[in-house]
């Protein structure tokens, strides 16, 4: 592929996504459009017209892009079990994609970062062979092919390996030999041992936050190793309607802002109530049958690029563990296994055992322990959180961390809109720190409760777009982590520096 051809292909990305003008991409949004976007506060309806409003919320898309999404939505709306196979076989979709010179429906999306590479996810228009090419030191290496099929819901994930540590390598994705459009900065950044690095994180982006170009630009400019997005992403209250779950994932992949992030930053995900089923749903609540629960899990697993998903198709769940630079990242699943009562009713017996085993096996300087809901009970009285459903399990987890002197644990959480941080002093005298930037969607949330909880609150905002960031410096004798809460304009709202020893019981 020549440099000229590659540049032309990358420039076609804006055409394919339909962003209007370089001014919008640079954040120079007309005042009327900005005012309109700020007024869009109730975008929860699941109908097509609401989806179109969300598609155009931060930047008006071209007529043909709007037509394409309408056609995809119509194909997936045909029945609650509709798959992307119906989209592929739709004549209108095919005609519009041909006009756009487009043979894929989503991606590229990075995930599963390793010391020497990462995985690249795409969703193709038709069953196809997917190849990723990376140029390192003047040599082009090819990875794949990996086949996308109707059984895989037209997704393919290609593992890229053998890249030098501490480098940034541009990549290209080919579907049946044709390069797909991608942002200019689409690249794989590999970590370097003991080098300072950062990881961004947050929850509750929902559907309406995915198109926020300002915030996406801030995230990309900070060049983090990874983006942890652990609940209420993309799918909104679809319950047992598999077709509409897929329509929401298709909408996600129409946003240039989203593509700008995930084409260069590996994303790690888990779910919470809204992308699981509906508000405060768990287990069979909102999904009704085991078959629906398993089907929802499979759609989630195929639509993301996680290293693995729970115990697989047979055992279920979507929890996972990864090593990212100097950190172990553990993402838990508080929805799939939850039951109304009984021991370990929140995470389930098997996931609790996995969590303990994983905590003991961690070898990074820090551990990021992610939960879709609150770890402690300071917001809404712990509504829908671990402490409300299974207070004994909550104590068991934190007693386990203290008893085993597990070092460097950072708690991150979500569910309650807004962004807050808390510190909790245990009877032993050890203090846990919890960071909850549930502000990727800019929604307002309830205040901390009860009043005494305000003494534990480090910060609190509502109604603002913001994301969390951990910056790690492991070169020091006592490694340090700095937390920052960053607004969509790049402003630092709150900062806190901690050492590994402060985060280690004993």
- Sign for the pseudo-dihedral over CA of 443, 447, 448, 450: negative
Name the residue range of residue 87's domain.
15-99
CA distance 98 to 250: 18
Between strands 431-438 and 466-473, the pairing is unpaired
CA distance 119 to 117: 7
Q: Is residue 76 part of a domain?
A: yes
Q: Is residue 218 part of a domain?
A: yes
> Residue 130: helix, strand or coil by DSSP?
strand
Q: How many domains does the chain have?
A: 2
In Å, how far from its chain's centre is CA 495? Answer: 23
Q: Which residues contact 224 (CB under 8 A, 6 or more apart)?
A: 197, 198, 199, 200, 265, 469
- Final residue in a domain of this structure, among 79, 99, 119: 99
**What are 135-154's pLDDT values in tens digits?**
888 899 999 999 999 999 99
Average pLDDT over residues 382-406: 94
Q: Is residue 113 part of a domain?
A: no
Report the mean per-residue pLDDT for the chain.
92
Q: Is residue 149 part of a domain?
A: no
Helix axis angle, 63-76 to 91-99, nearest 10°: 150
Q: Is residue 107 part of a domain?
A: no
Say if residue 12's pLDDT is above 90: no
| Percent of the chain whose predicted confidence (pLDDT) is above 90 | 85
- Final residue in a domain of this structure, among 74, 99, 124: 99
Q: Are residues 327 and 456 in the same domain?
A: yes
Say if residue 285's pLDDT is above 50: yes
- Final residue in a domain of this structure, among 59, 82, 99: 99
Do 274 and 206 contact (CB within 8 A), yes or no? yes
Residue of 414, 422, 418 lying closest to 465 (CA atoms):
418
**What are 217-276's pLDDT values in tens digits?**
999 999 999 999 999 999 999 999 999 999 999 999 999 999 999 999 999 999 999 999
**What are 75-133's pLDDT values in tens digits?**
999 999 999 999 999 999 999 999 999 999 999 999 999 999 999 999 999 999 999 99
Phi, psi dihedrals of residue 251, rounded to the nearest 5° = -60, -40
Q: Distances in Å between the alpha carbon of 198 and those of 15, 61, 242, 477?
A: 32, 33, 36, 19
Q: Is residue 393 part of a domain?
A: yes
Q: Are residues 270 and 399 in the same domain?
A: yes
Q: Are residues 65 and 208 in the same domain?
A: no
- Sign for the pseudo-dihedral over CA of 16, 17, 20, 23: negative
């Amino acid at each position: 592929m020549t440099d000229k051809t590659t540049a032309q292909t990358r420039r076609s990305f804006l055409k394919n996504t339909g962003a209007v003008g370089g001014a919008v991409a640079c954040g120079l949004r007309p005042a009327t459009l900005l005012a309109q976007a700020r007024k869009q506060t109730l975008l929860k309806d699941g109908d097509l017209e609401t989806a179109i409003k969300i598609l155009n919320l931060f930047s008006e898309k071209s007529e043909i892009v709007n037509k394409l999404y309408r056609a995809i939505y119509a194909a997936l709306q045909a029945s609650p079990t509709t798959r992307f196979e119906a989209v592929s076989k739709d004549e209108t979709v095919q005609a519009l994609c041909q006009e756009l010179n487009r043979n894929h429906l989503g991606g590229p999306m990075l995930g599963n970062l390793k010391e020497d590479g990462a995985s690249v996810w795409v969703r193709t228009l038709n069953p196809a062979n997917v190849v990723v090419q990376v140029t390192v030191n003047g040599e082009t290496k090819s990875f794949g092919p990996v086949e996308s099929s109707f059984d895989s819901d037209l997704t393919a994930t290609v593992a890229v390996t053998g890249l030098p540590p501490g480098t940034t390598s541009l990549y290209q994705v080919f579907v049946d030999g044709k390069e797909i459009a991608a942002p200019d900065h689409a690249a794989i950044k590999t970590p370097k041992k003991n080098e300072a690095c950062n990881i961004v994180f947050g929850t509750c982006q929902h559907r309406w936050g995915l198109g926020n170009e300002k915030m996406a630009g801030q995230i990309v400019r900070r060049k983090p190793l990874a983006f942890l997005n652990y609940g209420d992403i993309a799918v909104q209250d679809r319950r047992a309607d598999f077709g509409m779950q897929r329509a929401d994932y298709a909408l996600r992949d129409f946003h240039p802002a989203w593509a700008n992030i995930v084409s260069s930053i590996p994303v790690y995900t888990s779910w919470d109530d809204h992308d699981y089923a509906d508000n405060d749903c768990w287990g069979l609540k909102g999904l009704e049958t085991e078959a629906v629960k398993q089907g929802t899990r499979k759609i989630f697993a195929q639509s993301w690029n996680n290293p693995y998903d729970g115990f697989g198709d047979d055992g279920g769940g979507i929890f996972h563990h990864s090593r990212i630079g100097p950190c172990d990242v553990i993402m838990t699943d508080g929805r799939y296994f939850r039951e109304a009562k009984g021991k370990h009713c929140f995470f389930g017996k098997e996931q609790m055992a996995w969590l303990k085993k994983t905590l003991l096996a961690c070898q990074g300087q820090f551990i990021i322990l992610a939960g879709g809901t609150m770890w402690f009970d300071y917001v809404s009285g712990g509504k829908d959180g671990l402490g409300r459903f299974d207070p004994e399990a909550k104590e068991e987890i934190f007693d386990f961390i203290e008893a085993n002197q597990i070092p460097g644990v950072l708690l991150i959480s979500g569910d309650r809109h807004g962004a807050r941080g808390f510190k909790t002093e245990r009877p032993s005298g050890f203090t846990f720190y919890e960071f909850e930037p549930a502000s990727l969607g800019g929604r307002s949330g309830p205040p901390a409760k009860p009043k005494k909880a305000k003494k534990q609150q480090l910060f609190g905002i509502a109604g603002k777009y913001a994301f969390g960031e951990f910056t790690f410096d492991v070169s020091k004798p006592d490694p340090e982590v700095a937390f920052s809460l960053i607004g969509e304009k790049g402003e630092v709202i709150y900062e806190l520096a901690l050492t590994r020893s402060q985060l280690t019981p004993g």
